Amino acid sequence: MGNYIITGGTKGLGFATAQLLAKKKGAKLIITGRDSKTGLAKVHQLQVQSGNTNIHFIKLDLGDFESISSFLGQYKRLLWDGIDALINNAGIQYVSPTRYTEQGYELTFGVNHMGHFFLTDLLMPFMNIASTIINVASGVHNPRLKTGIPNPVYTTAKELAFPEFNSKKNWRKVGQTRYSTSKLCNILHTYRLAREFASEGMDTSVVAFDPGMMPGTGLADDYPAYIRWIWKNILPIRTLFTNRINTPRQSAGILVKLIEGSMGITNKTGYFYVGGEEKSSTQSYDENLQEDLWLFSLDEVNKFRFAKHNQMTK
């Protein structure tokens, strides 16, 4: 039993997690995505597979604060009795020239961090007692793991949101670095949000979860064709040999255990991967970086709220 929201719930890890949660007795579930036709088809599939009719799709573009605001309104209309788990799963990785969100943030940072930050901020008042927020992170944030992806480069949140233009960059390296940095941001946000809940006396767990590499998912869609082929046809074989490389189903099983509280969450927060709890990167514990990211993000969403309020009162 429980009320669950999964961003990016129409494919990959998000859909695999939805399949498991939908089968829980008394579960209510919202999955999100950018395409309504696909989302509604996935809801139908989940309902048929699970026999659960309390499954809903709400369109959500994490690259647009207007869409996130609209999501809140649609969520309220469902008249749920609060949220037991919010799973911030959706994520992108671009290795092509810089793109931007509707509010002008660099797209990877804007979707992977800012979109989820704003959504979480809007939904915080609806979190139930002993609820859980899971930010899907990645081992690529940690230089110690030597993942083959460039290490994160965190300067300031403002510089990540509004990078300096340069047309002569190695876009694959830039895109991969932006991705690893956005995953570091997910963990910085996790630890800072956990302190926020603790200071307010709220009994909500905040967890960063590394599902491992999941070959075959859509994360490599912006790569050249030969890399996409290897991603979908060769790398899945490696899921048989290491828990750092998994199928979405394998990772979803651990994610659900985290939601159920059967993974031994420490002090209402933690960093987990499929193999269990572990330390995240040294940089992720830097409270100065956590605060920089928190204050910038909060200021940006408040600017949007203020502008939206002014538009409505004119």
Place of tokens 């129409």: 10
H-assigned helices in 154-170: 157-161
Question: Which token pair is 167?
Answer: 């047309």
Q: Residue 212's domain spans which residues?
A: 2-313
Contact 88, 116 (CB under 8 A): yes
pLDDT in tens, the chain (314 residues): 799 999 999 999 999 999 999 999 999 999 999 999 999 999 999 999 999 999 999 999 999 999 999 999 999 999 999 999 999 999 998 878 899 999 999 999 999 999 999 999 999 999 999 899 999 999 999 999 988 889 999 999 999 999 987 666 787 889 999 999 999 999 999 999 999 998 888 889 999 999 876 555 555 455 455 444 333 544 444 444 455 567 888 889 999 998 887 666 654 678 887 777 889 999 999 999 999 999 999 999 999 998 876 777 66
Contact 119, 68 (CB under 8 A): yes
Residue 111 per-residue DSSP state: I
Contact 67, 7 (CB under 8 A): no
The domain that holds 272 is classified in CATH as: 3.40.50.720
Helix 12-22 to helix 36-50 angle, to the nearest 10 degrees?
30
Number of domains in the chain: 1
Helix 116-123 to helix 287-313 angle, to the nearest 10 degrees?
70
